[in-house]
Amino acid sequence: MVLPRTQEENARQRALTYFQRAGIYLTKDEMDSLKAVDFGLGRLEEIGLERVVYVKTGRCCAKEMILFPGQTCPEHIHLPFEAEPGKEETFRCRWGKVYLYVPGKPVQKPQAKIPEDLRQYFTVWHEIVLTPGGQYTLAPNTLHWFQGGPDGAVVSEFSTNNRDEADIYSNPEISMAPRRN
């Protein structure tokens, strides 16, 4: 399923306002490079994120991600590949609030809400709430997902290099869908 162009452009423009609110300066080229990623499900407002990649070399990567209120990056894992142990990533909240879920004791009343029909694809429920300045480093090979809080979120990601083919999503429709990111 392909995201309609107007919907993608609206999401891009809306994401740019988050950068302004967070006081993060982007160049014109970076604004143009901002992508709305719907993971192929065509439900961007629910399952998606917006992002600008600052740097991606063979060794490390830094990007800025926007999550609209309630918008969710779906559960996935970064598997080891070749001689590498898999992608290690640190999330740092710059603005707003983000709910991050990882393996561990499940929270009783999760703050994130997931569409009922996708509920089966979210299996880890240990909740970490990040507000500005809060950060969390995720070891490779760890299931995780995250959702923007009531006002959305701006999140920096610092990581080792990744390989798209080593990213496995819990929802098989995502791995089979055309990759838009």
Applying CB under 8 A, the residues found at the interface with a copy of itself are 22-27, 30, 54-55, 57, 59-62, 88, 90, 92, 94-95, 132-135, 137, 156, 158-160
Question: Which is nearer to a copy of itself, 6 or 27 (by Cβ)?
Answer: 27
What is the C-alpha separation between 125 and 103, in angstroms, rounded? 7
Question: Which is nearer to a copy of itself, 27 or 108 (by Cβ)?
Answer: 27
Question: Which is nearer to a copy of itself, 142 or 160 (by Cβ)?
Answer: 160
Minimal distance, residue 21 CB to a copy of itself, in Å: 10
Minimal distance, residue 78 CB to a copy of itself, in Å: 12
CA angle at residue 167 from 69 to 90, to 5 degrees?
60
| Helix, strand, or coil (residue 127) | strand
Could you please report the per-residue DSSP string of 137-167? EEPSS--EEEEEEEEEEEEEEEEE---GGGE
Minimal distance, residue 98 CB to a copy of itself, in Å: 14
What is the C-alpha separation between 172 and 111, in angstroms, rounded? 25
| Helix, strand, or coil (residue 4) | coil
Question: Which is nearer to a copy of itself, 157 or 167 (by Cβ)?
Answer: 157
Tokens (6 digits) for 157: 């990601």
Minimal distance, residue 35 CB to a copy of itself, in Å: 17
Question: Which is nearer to a copy of itself, 54 or 125 (by Cβ)?
Answer: 54
Tokens (6 digits) for 132: 């500005």
Q: Which helix (H) or strand (E) holds 21?
A: helix 5-22
Minimal distance, residue 93 CB to a copy of itself, in Å: 9
